[in-house]
Amino acid sequence: MKKRTLVVIVIMLTALPLVAGRYAGDFMMIGAGVRSLGMGGAFCALADDGSAIYWNSAGISQIRDSEIMLMHAFLYNGLASYDNLSFCQPLPNGVTIGLNAIRLTVSDIPLFDESYLIGTNVDQRVNNSNYHLPGVPDGRFKSVDDMYQFAFSKHMHYDVNMGWLFFEIPMDIHFGGNIKFIKRNIKDNQGTGTGLDLGFKVKTDMAVIFDWDALGKLDFGMNFQDVAGTNISWDTYSEHKDEVLFNTKLGVAISQPIPVIDSELLLAYDHDYVYDGTSHYGVQFSYKKLGSLRAGYYDKNFSCGASVNVYGVGVDYALITNPVGITNRLGLRVSF
C-alpha cells in the first residue's frame, strides 16, 4: 500500500472582503494593486491604473501611456507573501491591452507522516503512546497559487442628444474583458482552470448635466467575474473539481475638483454580490497630481494609504486591517 500522509495546515486566509477557505477561488478575492486596496477595494468604477485588469478590465483603455506596476506584501502576520505585476500597453484607436499576474505563497507548511498507523485500530492508537502523534513535523512543503490575466479594452466617445429642449451629454464608454489562467500547487498536486471576466464603465461630466461648471465627473462601472463558469481541476485520482463562484461587481465614483487649492476629492462605492454581498467605501484627496491620501472601509475592516508621483513614477502604500492582523502593501508604478 502506498504511503499515506496527513497534512495539518492551520491557516486562516482572510481575503479582502471575506474569510477565505469557503470556496475554491478565495485567493483571487484578495485583490490587486495598492491604491485600490487603500480605498477599501472601491475601484470598479475608477479602474484607472494597471490593477484595473483585476477590478474592471474595461478601465485600462483610460491608460494612454505604457505602464508597469509592481506590488509586494506579507499577509497574515507574515504567514504568506503576496505579489502582483501588471503591464498595460496602449494601441491605436482607443485600445489598450494588458497583462496581470498574481501569486500567493505560503511556505513552511508542516507535514505529519501517518504511515506507521496503517493496520492499527482506535484502541491501539488511544492506549499505546507509540502510536500518538509526536507533534514534530516529518517535513515541510509550500503552497503556491497563481493567476494570470490577459486583458483587452476599447474606448469610445458619444455625445448623447437629449432633444432640442435639452443638450448633448458627453459619454466616455469603455468596455473590455480578460481571460485568466489559474494554477494552484499544494505539495505534489496541481489544480488548473481558466476563466473569463467582462466589464464596462461609463464616465460623464456632471457640469454639463446639472449646468454647473464647478461640478466634476461621474463614473459608473460593472465587472462580471467568471461569467462562463470557472472550475479548477486537480490531478488527483478522483479528478476533483473546485468551483469558482460567479461574481458581479458594481461601482460608482464621483471626482470633484477643488480649483482653489489645485486639488481633487474623490468618493467611491463598490458592491460585490458574491458571498451574500459586500460593500466597499473609499475616499481620496489628491494634490496637484503630485501625491494623494486615501482611506477605505469594507466588511468591518479599515484601510488607508498614500501615493507620491514624480516624473511618471509613483510610489504607493496601503495599510489594511483584517481579523488576522494588519497588512502593509508597497507598490511602484512607472509610466513611459
Q: For 302-336, what is each residue's pLDDT tens digit?
A: 999 999 999 889 999 999 988 777 889 999 999 99
Gap between the Cα atoms of 202 and 112, Å rounded: 54
Predicted pLDDT of residue 130: 78
Strands 139-161 and 80-91: unpaired
Residues 256-294: pLDDT tens digits? 999 999 999 999 999 999 888 999 999 999 998 899 999
User: CATH no. for residue 200?
Assistant: 2.40.160.40
Predicted pLDDT of residue 274: 85
Do residues 177 and 151 make contact, with C-beta atoms less than 8 angstroms apart? yes
Predicted pLDDT of residue 145: 93
Predicted pLDDT of residue 98: 97
Domain around 304: 5-335
Predicted pLDDT of residue 93: 94
Gap between the Cα atoms of 12 and 262, Å rounded: 44
Phi, psi of 12 (to 5 degrees): -110, 110
Low-confidence ranges of the chain (pLDDT < 50): 1-23
- Per the structure, how many domains does the chain have? 1
Helix (H) or strand (E) holding 306: strand 301-310
CA–CA distance from 160 to each of 169, 170, 204, 210 (Å)?
A: 5, 6, 10, 15
Predicted pLDDT of residue 293: 97
Do residues 38 and 280 make contact, with C-beta atoms less than 8 angstroms apart? no
* Residue 272 DSSP class: E
Which residues, other chains included, contact 251 with Cβ-Cβ below 8 Å and sequence gap of 6+?
42, 43, 44, 45, 46, 56, 219, 220, 221, 222, 223, 268, 269, 270, 271
Gap between the Cα atoms of 285 and 141, Å rounded: 44
CA–CA distance from 51 to each of 9, 34, 48, 279 (Å)?
A: 31, 8, 8, 19
Predicted pLDDT of residue 266: 97
Gap between the Cα atoms of 116 and 131, Å rounded: 8
Predicted pLDDT of residue 70: 95
Which residues, other chains included, contact 267 with Cβ-Cβ below 8 Å and sequence gap of 6+?
253, 254, 256, 282, 283
Do residues 63 and 155 make contact, with C-beta atoms less than 8 angstroms apart? no
Predicted pLDDT of residue 24: 59
Predicted pLDDT of residue 76: 77
Do residues 293 and 309 make contact, with C-beta atoms less than 8 angstroms apart? no
Of 198, 200, 192, the C-alpha closest to 179 is 198
User: Cell triple for residue 83?
Assistant: 505579489
Helix (H) or strand (E) holding 325: strand 325-335
Do residues 169 and 204 make contact, with C-beta atoms less than 8 angstroms apart? yes
Task: Report the percentage of the chain scoring pLDDT > 70.
Answer: 91
Gap between the Cα atoms of 273 and 276, Å rounded: 6
Looking up cell 501588471 gives 86
